[in-house]
Amino acid sequence: MSALQLSRRLGHSFADEELLTLALSHRSIGPANNERLEFLGDAVLGLIIGQALFERFPGAKEGDLTRARARLVKEPTLAELARDLDVGSQLALGSGEMKSGGRQRDSILSDAVEALIGAIYLDSDFMHVRDVVLSWYATRLDEMNPQKLEKDPKTQLQEYLQARSRPLPSYQVIEESGEPHERFYVVHCVIAGFDVPFAGEGTGRRRAEQAAAQLALEAVK
């Protein structure tokens, strides 16, 4: 697929094609990369999805909306969008990332989607990028019900322990490895009354904590 075909898939024709090139340039190729656009796109995406949920679900509580937004902007969801749009085929990657399958890595794909959002915003305006992003999310938003989303394991574990007047868990990073842009964590969830901590791992501290919390939740229940 060509860059022109990608633009059509995205629903935006770039006036400044250098923005598109930059958005698709991973940090592994050098200093001219998409990190700054990713930062901007993350903020724009959060606002777009937050506003959409606020308008669609006037009866939803703040906590329900927060969980729904987190579900829609998390790394796996963004990676799914990238695959839907075939973003991976157009990424510019360093040789190391190319060899290690970077075009299919969730973290790289999700960062690229955020960078594309930032690029489209700079190339147009907020109203246009909102329409573009909402077209990508149309099916996911139609299927969303904030009031029926299950809480994440860390929240469930905390509420379970609080309801029984038990000490809250603590989380400790036991191991951290990998490249700066692809950190891998091992985290222990420590709960009073259990001699052995619950270990979780993942690409990102939050993922590792959630994995550890899930194991702990199953044990305490």
Whether the CA torsion 120, 122, 128, 131 is positive or negative: it is: positive
CB count within 10 Å of CB 172 equals 12
The distance of Cα 83 from the centroid of its chain, to the nearest Å, equals 14
List alpha helices for the chain, DSSP H: 3-10, 17-23, 35-56, 62-73, 75-85, 95-99, 106-123, 126-136, 138-143, 153-163, 205-220
Active-site residue, from 42, 64, 123, 209:
42
Residue 218 marked in a binding site = no
CB count within 10 Å of CB 97 equals 21
Active-site residue, from 64, 75, 97, 114:
114
- Separation of alpha carbons 96 and 105, rounded Å: 13
Residue 142 marked in a binding site = no
The question of whether 123 is a catalytic residue gets the answer no
Residue 111 marked in a binding site = yes
- Separation of alpha carbons 123 and 51, rounded Å: 21
The question of whether 42 is a catalytic residue gets the answer yes
Residues belonging to the active site:
42, 114
Annotated binding site: 38, 111, 114
Annotated binding site for Mg(2+): 38, 111, 114
